[in-house]
């Protein structure tokens, strides 16, 4: 008695481990095709984003980073599928319409799997090899929050007090006049003015007390998912951490650093958390310290431009210091560089 051939058995596999000779289940779910060659495209951060699988017989697939794929299980004596099973050659999907989506998923910004609009075969998904996910960072506790002085009066009164302490400072005057109209923490421009005022008070005027008072108006704001607004809060937290460490207030500095790292603990998807950790570590290891721009300003004898670039460098160094340094720049070296930049900007 002749038995019908057994249905092929597919197993799940990390698509980042695909290699030549694997038989990949095609997006239609009915056919498989042998992979002839595998290449990987990275996004602008250098993170694996898209796998290009060239199929035997022509055609190929773009496979986005997000999940797993099904591959024909091979075993001793297992019969390999006939070449005809692969069906007609597939055309490589053009990247223009899907590139942003692939990049977004590689950096953990989208919540779903990548698919296309149905005009061509839907993209399978890839899980590239990644470092272990970092441990979750807990938010500040009530004990932590107790280390941050409670607000006395209104936010506007804090700004007014800082302005009264420096009546001859044009920078403080301009910023305080804008903020006196009302502080709206939902406004990105308002948050930026507060950040700039705190930096002006400490970096230029060496007023740590008023700088911390103004910065704390930002420091207690939670991360709401808006990266534009969070950039000002982040810079304020980094500045506050540095000031407190200079004053010997180590516990208070640690609270600010917890706030700074809070967004890192908000991603619950393990894959996306690992992607985020890899991108974040690369940004810490390879920070933009504006060397070319500073040297260009010096060559052009443009001290105003040089000062602005050095302020951006100082902000980047403070951010690194609030993270305890990186794999390429340690905390002691950061302290030295920050001291040099403060001296340059204040001179």
The CATH number for 23's domain is: 2.30.30.30
Task: Assess whether 78 and 111 both reside in one domain.
Answer: yes
What DSSP designation does 169 have? -
Of 141-145, 166-170, 188-192, 322-326, the one with minimum mean pLDDT is: 141-145
Q: Which of 285, 304, 325 lies at the terminal end of a domain, its last residue? A: 285
Mean pLDDT across the chain: 78
Among the listed residues 108, 128, 101, the one whose alpha carbon sits nearest the alpha carbon of residue 13:
128
Are 151 and 265 found together in one domain?
yes
The rounded distance, in Å, linking the Cα atoms of 310 and 300 is: 15
Residue 133: is its pLDDT beyond 80?
Answer: no
pLDDT digits (tens, 9 = 90+) for 34-44: 888 877 776 65
Of 41-45, 81-85, 121-125, give the lowest mean pLDDT range.
81-85
Q: Is residue 341 part of a domain?
A: no
Position 53 confidence tier, pLDDT thresholds 50, 70, 90: confident
Residues 146 and 279 in one domain: yes
Residue 84 lies in a domain: yes
Contact 78, 109 (CB under 8 A): no
In this prediction, residue 331 carries a pLDDT of 92
Predicted confidence at residue 48, as pLDDT, reads 66
Total tally of structural domains belonging to the chain? 2
Task: Name the residue with tokens 């998923």.
Answer: 105
Which range has the top average pLDDT, 85-99, 114-128, 179-193, 234-248? 234-248
**111 vs 281 pLDDT, higher one:** 281
* Average pLDDT of the residues in 204-230: 93
Tens of pLDDT, residue by residue over 248-290, are 999 999 999 999 998 887 777 888 888 888 888 998 999 999 9
In order of 70, 139, 146, 247, the CA distances from 142 in angstroms are 48, 10, 6, 23
Q: Say whether both 119 and 246 belong to one domain.
A: no
Domain boundary among 238, 266, 285: 285
157 and 268 both lie in a single domain = yes
Q: Identify the pLDDT of residue 277.
A: 86
- Name the DSSP class of 84: G
Higher pLDDT residue, 5 or 24?
Answer: 24
In the chain, the percentage of residues whose pLDDT exceeds 70 is 73
Q: Which residues contact 168 (CB under 8 A, 6 or more apart)?
A: none
Task: Please report the pLDDT score of residue 112 as a whole number.
Answer: 45
Whether 84 and 190 share a structural domain: no
Which strands make up the sheet holding 32-42, listed edge to edge? Answer: 10-14, 68-72, 23-25, 32-42, 48-55, 60-65, 125-126
**What range does the domain containing 196 cover?**
142-285
183 and 120: one domain?
no
Q: Output the pLDDT for position 101.
A: 45
Question: 63 in a domain, yes or no?
Answer: yes
Give the pLDDT confidence score for residue 52 in this predicted structure. Answer: 77
pLDDT for the residue 46: 59
For the ranges 50-64, 203-217, 265-279, the lowest mean pLDDT is seen at 50-64
| Position 231 in a domain | yes
255 in the same domain as 177: yes
Q: Please check whether residue 220 lies inside any domain of the structure.
A: yes
Decide if pLDDT at 139 tops 80.
Answer: no
Task: Say yes or no to pLDDT of 143 above 90.
Answer: no
């Amino acid at each position: 008695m002749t038995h019908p051939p057994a249905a092929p058995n597919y197993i799940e596999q990390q698509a980042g481990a695909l290699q030549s000779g694997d038989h990949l289940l095609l997006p239609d779910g009915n056919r498989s095709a042998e992979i002839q060659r595998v290449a990987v495209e990275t996004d602008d951060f250098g993170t694996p984003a898209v796998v290009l699988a060239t199929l035997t017989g022509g055609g190929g697939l773009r496979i986005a980073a997000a999940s797993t794929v099904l591959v024909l299980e091979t075993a001793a004596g297992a019969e390999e599928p006939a070449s005809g099973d692969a069906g007609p050659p597939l055309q490589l999907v053009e990247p223009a319409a899907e590139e942003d989506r692939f990049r977004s998923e590689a950096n953990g910004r989208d919540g779903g799997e990548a698919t296309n609009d149905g005009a061509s075969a839907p993209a399978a998904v890839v899980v590239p090899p990644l470092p272990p996910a970092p441990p979750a960072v807990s938010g500040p506790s009530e004990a932590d929050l107790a280390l941050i002085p409670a607000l006395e009066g209104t936010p506007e009164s804090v700004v007014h007090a800082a302005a009264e302490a420096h009546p001859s400072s044009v920078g403080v005057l301009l910023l305080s006049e804008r903020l006196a109209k009302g502080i709206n923490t939902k406004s990105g421009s308002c948050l930026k003015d507060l950040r700039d005022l705190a930096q002006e008070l400490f970096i230029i005027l060496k007023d740590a007390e008023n700088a911390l008072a103004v910065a704390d108006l930002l420091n207690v704001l939670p991360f709401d998912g808006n990266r534009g607004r969070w950039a000002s809060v982040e810079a304020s937290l980094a500045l506050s951490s540095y000031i407190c460490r200079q004053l010997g207030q180590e516990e208070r500095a640690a609270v600010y650093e917890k706030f700074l790292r809070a967004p890192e603990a908000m991603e619950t998807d393990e894959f996306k958390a690992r992607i985020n950790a890899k991108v974040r570590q690369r940004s810490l290891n390879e920070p933009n310290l504006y060397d070319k721009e500073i040297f260009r300003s010096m060559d052009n004898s443009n001290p105003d431009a040089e000062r602005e670039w050095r302020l951006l460098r100082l902000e980047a160094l403070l951010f690194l210091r609030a993270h305890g340094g990186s794999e390429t720049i340690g905390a002691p070296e950061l302290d030295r560089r920050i001291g040099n930049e403060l001296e340059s900007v204040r001179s």
